[in-house]
């Protein structure tokens, strides 16, 4: 029992430690990157239980700010291959288990 | 009867009452065609006569009733049309529309034009409207229409690229772990950085490096370019160096020649004389030239130059020195280390790898420099602590060993040369004079044994380990011994030369020289050849190079060649190249000339089958030596 208790604690620990937003791959310019990252973090925190709404929020804000045809995928386990406009891709991790991929392609 | 009875006239009530007479009166009535209502005196204005004129003939017609008829003559145009349309319309349209028109009366064609129009127009809606020429006229015009042109454009779509990845729980976890590790490392580094204070310095160094990097890129390229240009300029010399073999040597039995190759000179070294020459073992086209002055009264600065055979126009390395360079030696293994001895008694070590013009190590008065000019330096093998060390001999009578320990030169006196031979301080009373050493050489195989030549003309055989005594002394010359050199092959033979015009060959076990050669002029330097144990060269102050081959001719030089233009130039040093058949000769004008040895000078002794080459000459020398010792006369058999 102690083992599992410890295990849970560790899990919680690492989730806590690993919950900062970590950019895995991006080719966005600095400003855009920061803004997008913050937007993603806000959205994910707001709609922590509903990935679809979070994605919707991100996509609409990106469309307004940076031009049309953004695509957003949020999830915990997926693979993808996308074609994106150069300098308009952000792939990041957040919250220890969420992966967010945002790209523009009209 | 009734009709007869009816004759009784019935008078209406309002009848005029007339008398019977009046009744019987006959009134005549005339019927004419005249219209009683027509005017009888119409007057019309006549424009011609400009007055009113009565018209005689007055229209007498009175129209009482008009009825329009719709009958059409069957042969007329219209009738044909109607008939056609009738047939046509019977198919689609009902009768009522058609009938009333057909039953219509005669149509006047001259009078009313409107009616046929309206009739026709009602029937034929599809026929184009025929407008009358009087009230309607068509006018048409066409403006110029500019020709149409297609213009199309396609903007470049924004560049696209693909990206793919997998988002798994473990990937995420791994990424976070990595990131945390990185962050920790950064924190540690930062702590370390704060403690160092030379951030500013490192920045400066970086700047310098970037600046010099730009230049160094060009130096390599320019160096190569310079060499190719040199090669092109001195192309014939380069060809000679590589391929020329003096064909006439076949006809000259024993003699050989020296073919002059490149001449090396440096502007700033014109007033100096060549005091030392040394080939580099590793890069056999590189040699070092030490420049100074042998003139006691005229001592100025000196120079250390490095030339490459690939670029005879300009030295590769130039080191100006404050005092004249008297001797130099390049380390056998670490060919970037050069030991130099100066006229003022200092010794220094230069490293060719370093950028600056200063020596890496230099001895000072405190650190035991010589008090008189240093005549010879020699590198030794590394000592037990793996420190490099070299020996120097000087006119102050000391043979000193210098060790490169970290940043310093540590000196150790090996031996002191005194006139009487023994050494330690204060042993001999009256003859405690110091003898000046002018040259020395270490044995090739026996590391601790070395020879020292002195100004008095004696040669001492010494050992590194015995500092108090000489192993042997040879009364070699009557004047200062300029050079002693061990033979490369034979472990017992060495040569010495002196300003007393002689070159002598010795066996170190025997006190008297084996061969003595008189060269008619003071001999500046002698050197063994690296390829044969019986060949050596000597240079004299009259500008001649003498090359001897003992296996060919025991009495004379097989080549005696005047090599400098003006007889006033004295040759000071000579060195053989380790691999090429080339010798360099330095003179007192600061020139170094290179020569190629003709084949006769390079004869390798014929190897007997099964015999090793180097031992071949050794065997011969041994033979001659035995004969010498027996007879004390030169052997008549020549090898």
Q: pLDDT: is A29 or B31 the higher one? A: A29
Chain A: nearest CA to B381, how far in angstroms? 58
Percent residues over pLDDT 90 in chain B: 4
Q: pLDDT: is B628 or B422 the higher one? A: B628
In a domain, B185, yes or no: no
User: What CATH number is given to the structural domain containing B558?
Assistant: 2.130.10.10
CA distance linking residue B343 with residue B273, whole number of Å: 13
Which of B161, B164, B169 has its CB closest to that of A77?
B169
Mean pLDDT of B16-36: 82
Q: Give pLDDT, residue B553.
A: 74
Residue B296 lies in domain = 235-420+432-632
In a domain, B410, yes or no: yes
Q: Which band of pLDDT confidence, cut at 50, 70 and 90, is reported for residue A74?
A: very high
For the stretch B308-356, pLDDT in tens is: 888 888 888 888 888 888 888 888 888 888 888 888 888 888 888 887 7
CA distance linking residue B369 with residue B367, whole number of Å: 6
Mean pLDDT of B563-568: 72
DSSP annotation string for B72-86 = --TTSHHHHHHHHHH
Question: Is the model's pLDDT at B571 over the cut of 80?
Answer: yes
Q: Give pLDDT, residue B112.
A: 44
DSSP annotation of B434: B
Mutate to test the interface with A, among B163, B170, B182 (most CBs of A within 10 A): B163
C-beta of residue B277 within 8 angstroms of C-beta of residue B573: yes
Question: Is the model's pLDDT at B15 over the cut of 90?
Answer: no
In a domain, B271, yes or no: yes
Question: Is the model's pLDDT at B608 over the cut of 80?
Answer: no
Chain A: nearest CA to B157, how far in angstroms? 9
Question: Is the model's pLDDT at B637 over the cut of 50?
Answer: no
Mean pLDDT of B233-244: 80
Question: Is the model's pLDDT at B543 over the cut of 70?
Answer: yes
Q: Give pLDDT, residue A54.
A: 93
Mean pLDDT of A40-65: 93
Mean pLDDT of B16-40: 81
Per the structure, the count of domains in chain B is 1
For chain A, give the longest Cα–Cα distance.
54
Residues of chain A positioned with their CB less than 8 A from the CB of B176: 14, 17-18, 22, 93, 96
In a domain, B176, yes or no: no
Q: Give pLDDT, residue B635.
A: 39
Domains in chain A, CATH or no CATH each: 18-104 (3.30.740.10)
Which of B160, B173, B176 has its CB closest to that of A85?
B160
Among B26-35, B59-68, B355-364, B416-425, name the one with the lowest average pLDDT. Answer: B416-425
Q: Give pLDDT, residue B139.
A: 87
In a domain, B484, yes or no: yes
For the stretch B106-155, pLDDT in tens is: 444 444 444 545 544 455 556 677 777 788 888 899 999 999 999 999 98
CB atoms within 10 A of CB B193: 9
Joined together, the tokens standing for residue B269 give 């070294």
Q: What mean pLDDT, rounded, does chain B reach?
A: 77
In a domain, B317, yes or no: yes
Mean pLDDT of A7-17: 63
pTM above 0.95, yes or no: no
Which of A17, A77, A81 has its CB closest to that of B164?
A81
Interface of B with A in 175-214 (CB under 8 A): 175-177, 179-180
Identify which of B622, B317, B315, B596 has the alpha carbon closest to the alpha carbon of residue B492.
B622
Question: Is the model's pLDDT at B232 over the cut of 70?
Answer: yes
Mean pLDDT of B388-408: 83
Q: Which band of pLDDT confidence, cut at 50, 70 and 90, is reported for residue B105?
A: very low
Question: Is the model's pLDDT at B190 over the cut of 60?
Answer: yes
Identify which of B550, B497, B534, B535 has the alpha carbon closest to the alpha carbon of residue B519.
B497
In a domain, B116, yes or no: no
Reported ipTM: the value is 0.83
Percent residues over pLDDT 90 in chain A: 70
Q: Give pLDDT, residue B613.
A: 44
Q: pLDDT: is A65 or B212 the higher one? A: A65
Q: Give pLDDT, residue A81.
A: 94
Decide if B88 touches A, using CB distance below 8 A.
Answer: no
In a domain, B495, yes or no: yes
CA distance linking residue B322 with residue B338, whole number of Å: 17
């Amino acid at each position: 029992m102690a083992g599992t208790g410890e295990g849970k604690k560790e899990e919680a620990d690492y989730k806590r430690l690993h919950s900062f937003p970590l950019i895995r791959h991006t080719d966005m310019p600095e400003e855009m990157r920061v803004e997008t990252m913050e937007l993603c973090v806000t959205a994910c925190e707001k709609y922590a239980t509903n990935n679809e709404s979070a994605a919707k929020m991100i996509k609409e804000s990106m469309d307004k700010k940076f031009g049309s045809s953004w695509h957003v995928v949020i999830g915990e386990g997926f693979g993808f291959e996308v074609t994106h406009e150069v300098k308009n891709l952000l792939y990041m991790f957040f919250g220890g288990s969420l992966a967010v991929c945002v790209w523009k392609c009209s | 009867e009734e009709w007869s009875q009816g004759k009784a006239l019935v008078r209406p009530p309002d009848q005029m009452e007339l008398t019977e007479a009046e009744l019987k009166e006959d009134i005549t009535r005339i019927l004419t065609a005249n219209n009683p209502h027509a005017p009888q005196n119409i007057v019309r204005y006549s424009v011609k006569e400009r007055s009113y004129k009565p018209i005689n003939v007055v229209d007498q017609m009175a129209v009482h009733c008009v009825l329009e008829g719709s009958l059409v003559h069957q042969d007329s145009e219209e009738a044909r049309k109607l008939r056609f349309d009738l047939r046509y319309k019977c198919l689609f349209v009902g009768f009522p529309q058609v009938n009333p028109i057909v039953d219509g009366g005669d149509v006047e064609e001259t009078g009313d034009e409107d009616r046929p129009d309206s009739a026709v127009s009602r029937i034929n809606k599809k026929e184009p409207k025929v407008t009358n020429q009087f009230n309607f006229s068509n006018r048409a015009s066409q403006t110029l229409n500019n020709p149409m042109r297609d213009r199309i454009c396609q903007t470049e779509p924004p560049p696209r690229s693909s990206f793919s990845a997998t988002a798994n729980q473990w990937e995420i976890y791994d990424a976070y772990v990595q990131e945390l590790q990185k962050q920790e490392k950064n924190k540690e580094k930062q702590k370390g950085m704060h403690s160092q204070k030379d951030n500013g310095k490192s920045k400066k160094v970086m700047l310098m490096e970037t600046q010099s990097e730009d230049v160094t890129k060009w130096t390599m390229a320019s160096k190569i370019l310079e060499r190719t240009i040199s090669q092109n300029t001195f192309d014939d010399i380069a060809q000679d160096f590589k391929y020329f073999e003096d064909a006439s040597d076949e006809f000259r039995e024993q003699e050989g020649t020296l073919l002059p190759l490149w001449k090396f000179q440096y502007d700033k070294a014109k007033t100096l004389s060549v005091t030392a020459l040394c080939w580099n073992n590793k890069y056999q086209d590189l040699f070092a030239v030490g420049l100074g002055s042998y003139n006691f009264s005229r001592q100025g600065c000196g120079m250390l130059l490095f030339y490459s055979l690939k670029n005879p126009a300009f030295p590769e390395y130039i080191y100006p020195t404050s005092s004249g360079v008297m001797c130099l030696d390049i380390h056998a293994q670490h060919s970037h280390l050069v030991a130099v001895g100066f006229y003022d008694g200092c010794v220094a070590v230069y490293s060719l790898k370093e950028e600056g013009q200063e020596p890496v190590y230099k001895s000072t008065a405190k650190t035991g420099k010589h008090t008189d000019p240093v005549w010879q330096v020699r590198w030794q093998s590394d000592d037990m602590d793996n420190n490099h060390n070299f020996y120097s001999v000087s006119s102050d009578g000391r043979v000193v060993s210098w060790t490169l320990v970290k940043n310093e030169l540590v000196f150790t006196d090996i031996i002191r040369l005194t006139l009487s031979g023994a050494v330690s301080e204060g042993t001999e009373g009256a003859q405690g004079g110091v003898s000046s050493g002018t040259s020395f050489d270490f044995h090739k195989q026996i590391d601790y044994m070395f020879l020292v030549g002195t100004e008095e003309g004696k040669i001492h055989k010494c050992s590194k380990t015995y500092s108090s005594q000489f192993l042997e002394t040879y009364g070699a010359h009557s004047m200062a011994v300029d050079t002693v050199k061990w033979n490369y092959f034979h472990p017992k033979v060495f040569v010495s030369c002196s300003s007393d015009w002689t070159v002598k060959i010795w066996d170190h076990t025997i006190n008297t020289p084996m061969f003595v050669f008189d060269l008619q002029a003071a001999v500046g330097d002698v050197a063994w050849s690296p390829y044969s144990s019986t060949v050596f060269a000597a240079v004299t102050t009259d500008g001649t190079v003498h090359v001897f081959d003992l296996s060919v001719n025991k009495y004379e030089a097989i080549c005696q060649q005047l090599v400098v233009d003006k007889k006033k130039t004295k040759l000071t040093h000579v060195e053989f190249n380790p691999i090429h058949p080339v010798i360099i000769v330095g003179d007192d004008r600061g020139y170094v000339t290179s020569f190629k040895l003709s084949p006769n000078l390079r004869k390798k002794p014929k190897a007997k089958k099964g015999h090793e080459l180097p031992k071949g000459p050794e065997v011969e020398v041994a033979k001659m030596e035995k004969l010498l010792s027996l007879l004390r006369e030169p052997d008549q058999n020549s090898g």
